Each structure stands twice: as C-alpha cells, then as structure tokens.
Amino acid sequence: MIRRKFIKGILSIIGLGLTTGLYSWKIEPFWLEFVKKKMPIKNLPKSLNGLTLMQISDIHVGNRFDWCFIIKSFKKATFLKPDFVVYTGDFISYENGEQLEQLKEVFQNPVKGKLGTIAILGNHDYGKNWAQNEVAVSVINILEKSGISILRNEQKEVNGLNFIGFDDYWATNFKPKNAMKSYDEKKANIVLCHNPDVCDLDIWNGYKGWILSGHTHGGQVKPPFLDPPMLPVKNQTYTSGEIDLKDGRTLYINRALGHLWQVRFNVRPEITLFKLGIA
C-alpha cells in the first residue's frame, strides 16, 4: 500500500510538471490579455477626455516563436479602434536580415490610432550587442513606411497630446536630456521610455506625469505569490503594471506582446488600453 501510494504520488508530480510545461509553452504565450486602465492627465484638452490610448510593446518579431501570433493580435487590437497608439520598443529579435523582412510582413497591417501613432526603439532594435545603428535605421524605415512616427530623444505634439520619446537606454543614441530640456509642464505630456531603469536617472527636469515602458516582459515567468526570478533591470521593483514613483510621476510597464523565448507562466502577453481623463 505504501509503495503504491508513493508511486502514485510520483506519477502525479510528473504529470503536473508535464501539464505545467505544456501550458507554459503552448498556451499562455499566445493567450493575449487586453488590460484596461484609466490615465488621468494634467492639461488634457476636453476634446480628448474619454478617448483611448493603446500601448503595444516588445513584439520581438523573429525566429524564437510563431510571430503569426503578432499579426493575429494586431487584428484584434485594430478592431478596438483606438484613438492613439504607442509602441514602446523591441520590434525585432535580431539575428540577421531575415527579421527585417519578417517585420515588413507584420507591419503590412499595423495597429494605428485614429488621431496618431507614435513609437520609440528598444535595445533589440539595435541588433547585436545593441550597437548596430544600421539595423535601427532599417527598423525605423519599415515603421515610417507604415505611417508610424518615431521619436528619438525628441517631442511631438499630436492632436492635443505631447509625446516625449527617449531612444533606448542600452543602445548607442540615448540622449534623454535632448528631449527633456524643452519640457513644458503646461502641456498634456506622456513620456515613452523603453527601459524603466531610466526613471532612476537624473534627467527628468521636474517632469510630472505618465511614463510608458516595456522591456521587462513582466519576467515572463512568475511563480505564484513570488516575484519574477529574472528581470533585465537594475531596479527589481520595476516588474510590470502601474507604479507610483511618489514624485508626481506614474510609471506603467507593459508585460510585452511578444516573447524573447516561447515560455510564459502567470505573465500573459499584454496590450494595454488606457482611457484618457482630465486630472
């Protein structure tokens, strides 16, 4: 009897492990969640009150997972008819020129906002060792041909919203002070910043408002009741979701639509839909 119970217990544990592994590999990486949040913004024009801003981050088109999932997700997102769309970096997982061709295919039907579509680059958009500027230029060209405006340490006002976009922290063109030196607190500002570690740098020039980031993927794997064991940030409190930075800034870290590798557990892929409101 004891031996039978022992064997039964071992088989149950093995079965649970196989089921969890299959779920983490085949199901959750493709189980998209649309996360809905409120976004109160100072100086927001009354005409924008109640409109929507969609954040898409870290799509990582490449050979590490079936990127047809990205195309299907784009179709679902387009159906929601967002007013503004922002992409917060890492469009590809670069290995060679093949990923640029894959990105062209994905962005034949991009998600675009009715009033504006803005993007910034992430570290992976700079190729190997985040240092291939020619790869970044190729990514930019593909996105711009799709009607997407790219911000590289600069600002752009779009139908009443002022977007401030930083280039990637780890790459070769990180010059956030160029964008923040003309910060105007009287505008309805939103900062786009791929890597949330930038929040801890002395570059903000008194900025108050929202910062939209990605980069962490929420860790992709999160044991129940525990923190993610692996995060690509220095500040390990920067995992995912909304974080009050206690100084007038609010950080939101998107969990990513794509994946570095095809595995997720307790961290579903995300597209965020913000409802704009007057603060």
Q: What are phi and psi of 232, to 5 degrees?
A: -85, 45
Residues 152-195 pLDDT 10s: 999 999 999 999 999 999 999 999 999 999 999 999 999 999 99
Helix orientation angle between 68-79 and 98-106, rounded to the nearest 10 degrees: 20
Question: Residue 8: pLDDT above 60?
Answer: no
pLDDT, position 2: 46
Answer whether 151's CB lies under 8 Å from 121's CB.
no
Residues 90-101 pLDDT 10s: 999 999 999 999
- Please, what is the average pLDDT of the chain? 93
Kindly list the domain boundaries of the chain, sorted by start residue: 31-278
| Lookup: tokens for 68 | 């047809």
Choose the weakest-confidence range: 17-31, 72-86, 186-200, 237-251.
17-31
- pTM for the whole thing? 0.93
Q: How many CB atoms lie within 10 A of CB 217?
A: 30
* Residue showing tokens 């752009």: 156
Closest C-alpha among 227, 223, 222 to residue 238: 227
Residues 40-66, mean pLDDT to the nearest whole number: 97
| Lookup: tokens for 146 | 């799709």
Closest C-alpha among 203, 174, 170, 191 to residue 252: 191
Closest C-alpha among 2, 109, 65, 11 to residue 258: 65
Give whole-number Cα distances, 124 to 14, 61, 187, in Å: 37, 10, 31
C-alpha 9/C-alpha 149 separation (Å) is: 57
pLDDT, position 18: 52
Residues 235-276 pLDDT 10s: 999 999 999 999 999 999 999 999 999 999 999 999 999 999
Give domain 31-278's CATH number out of 3.40.710.10, 1.10.10.10, 3.40.50.300, 3.60.21.10.
Answer: 3.60.21.10
Residues 94-121 pLDDT 10s: 999 999 999 999 999 999 999 999 999 9
